[in-house]
Amino acid sequence: MLCIYTNVDCLPNKIQELKCFINLPEKVPDIIALTEIKYKNKWHVNTAELNIDGYNLFSNNLWEQNRGIIIYVKQDLNCKQVFLNNSFMEYVLLEIETDLNKVMQVATIYRSPNSSFENSLNMCSLIDHICSRSGYKLFLGDFNFHNINWNTWNTVGHLERKFIDTLQKNYLQQHIYSPTRARGSATQHFTRLNHNRRVIYRRH
């Protein structure tokens, strides 16, 4: 199963580029997870305009005050969206059937760099809740913890320490250790992944 993720920083003006990207001759992705699909919390787009042939679209409530998350899942995958009782709202959780009648919990999370202390704790609680569910776990997203040394899993920040503790107690492993793209003066493109994006997973 091939999964790709990026912080797209406004999807409507990149949707055609995304469609071209997934039609490249390389293997077609099964799951495409995107955060910050809205421009500065503004949203005046019919979601149907963002549909992609061959994929089902799942999102959080794009009409709320958030940056927005969309996940595209190939239509041949048996998938459902799961809603949890948690105060942290910037997430999309999908339960996807894999081979041998097993399931994978795929969570895409966005934590704003301006997130409150309470909201950050709610995010850690959400991760705990997801990890208590059965099946494999895959976390993708933009957590905006810039003061973590992922080589040593050390930090001087209190919130960062709480985040690391949450990952460790749930046996989650970090898989992206180096920047995938640095911000510059060039126009952003979908295929350029941003710095500090995290892919973390746990096998059940």
Residue 180 CA to residue 171 CA, distance in Å, equals: 24
Residues 6 or more apart whose CB falls under 8 angstroms from that of 162 comprise 120, 121, 124
> Which pLDDT score, from 0 to 100, does residue 147 have?
86
Radius of gyration of the chain (CA): 16
> Which pLDDT score, from 0 to 100, does residue 128 have?
96
Residues 6 or more apart whose CB falls under 8 angstroms from that of 102 comprise 135, 136
Domain boundaries along the sequence of the chain: 3-202
Secondary structure element (H or E) that encloses residue 139, with its range? strand 136-142
At 203, the pLDDT band (50, 70, 90 cuts) reads low
> Which pLDDT score, from 0 to 100, does residue 191 have?
40
Length of the chain: 204
- Return the residue matching tokens 């350029």: 192
> Which pLDDT score, from 0 to 100, does residue 108 have?
96
Q: Which CATH number fits domain 3-202: 3.40.50.2000, 3.30.1330.40, 3.20.20.100, 3.60.10.10?
A: 3.60.10.10
> Which pLDDT score, from 0 to 100, does residue 180 have?
54
**What's this model's pTM, rounded to 2 decimal places?**
0.85
Mean pLDDT confidence for 20-29:
80
**pLDDT tens-place string over residues 106-147:** 999 999 989 999 999 999 999 999 999 999 999 999 899 888
Q: Determine how many CB atoms are found less than 10 A away from the CB of residue 129.
A: 15
How high does pLDDT run on average in the chain? 83
> Which pLDDT score, from 0 to 100, does residue 185 have?
46
Mean pLDDT confidence for 170-183:
70
Cite the DSSP H helix spans in the chain: 15-22, 117-131, 158-169
Residue 163 CA to residue 121 CA, distance in Å, equals: 8
